[in-house]
Amino acid sequence: MGLALKAYAKLNLTLEITGRRPDGYHTLKSLVVAVDWADEVHLEPIPRRRIELRCMPDLHIPHGENLVYRAAELLWERFFPRGGVRIVLLKDIPMGAGLGGGSSDAAATLAGLNELWGLGLSDEELRGFARELGADVPFFLGESPAWMEGIGDVLRPAAEEIPPAFLVLVPPFPCPTAEVYRIYDELAKPEPGPSERFPNDLWPAAVRLRPELSRYAEALRGLGEVGVGMTGSGSALFAAFDGEDVAEWAMDELLERGVEGRLKLVRPRPRGHDFLVK
């Protein structure tokens, strides 16, 4: 019998760059929350000793670069299970927007294969494997919200009160992370933005790369929100609301204005993944 999991997106409500390591990686401190915009990861045992991965829609990503495949391969090489697995990845979270979809998919794959193959790994052991895949991946295996520090791999629970609803606006263009960090390094110590409540040190660099972001952020302001922010290195922006009714009205208002991009009303989740069938 197979398993299916929801792999949730994340929002960086705040993001502060705290330094840079000798190896070039930036260190940060970020308040992160999982939200109910999700991909689905379906795992089915197969008799052949192999890993099969199907993505819908087709992402045209080589298996060696796909975090889901790498997650399965990591556990496969360590534990060499008797049978194989067919993984079907149903994508809905936009790529290149700072929403963490790829990392979340990888975390859900680790959690699901732990169950499917009966590995009996603890949460901390799973997070150890997650760190080998990427700095964001461990977050999706733990509680939300959380403070993320180091290069993103150091986590601690957050007690901060999180707004109950967010309206996410994904412009029709990505913000490549490497490019945003390169520009950040070229700028003098920038002022965080786009709002005081949800500061993000990468905002000036993202706007330098994509000046249109200022226009999208302005579209989200003045709609009854309690603050506007950018998640990760962009390009996705969000507006936080004290209630879903106001957030729904704001989404309708933006749709009537014909704002380009994708709009999604999301709510916080207590962790980065959920089992659908177990």
Active site residues: 10, 136
CB proximity list for 22: less than 8 A, separation 6 or greater: none
Cα separation, 227 vs 238, in Å, equals: 8
The two tokens of residue 251 are: 């989404």
Contacts of 97 by beta carbon, 8 Å cutoff, 6+ apart: 170, 174, 175, 231, 232, 234, 235, 236
Q: What is the DSSP string of 114-180?
A: HHHTT----HHHHHHHHHHH-TTGGGGGSBSSEEEEETTTEEEE------SEEEEEE-SS---HHHH
Contacts of 76 (CB under 8 A, 6+ apart): 51
103 strand-pairing partners: none
Three-class DSSP category at 260? coil
Per-residue burial over 236-246, b if 16 or more Cβ lie within 10 Å, else e, is bbbbbbeeeeb
Which of 21, 29, 62 shows the shortest CA–CA distance to 202? 29
3-class DSSP state of 66: coil
First to last CA, the chain: 9
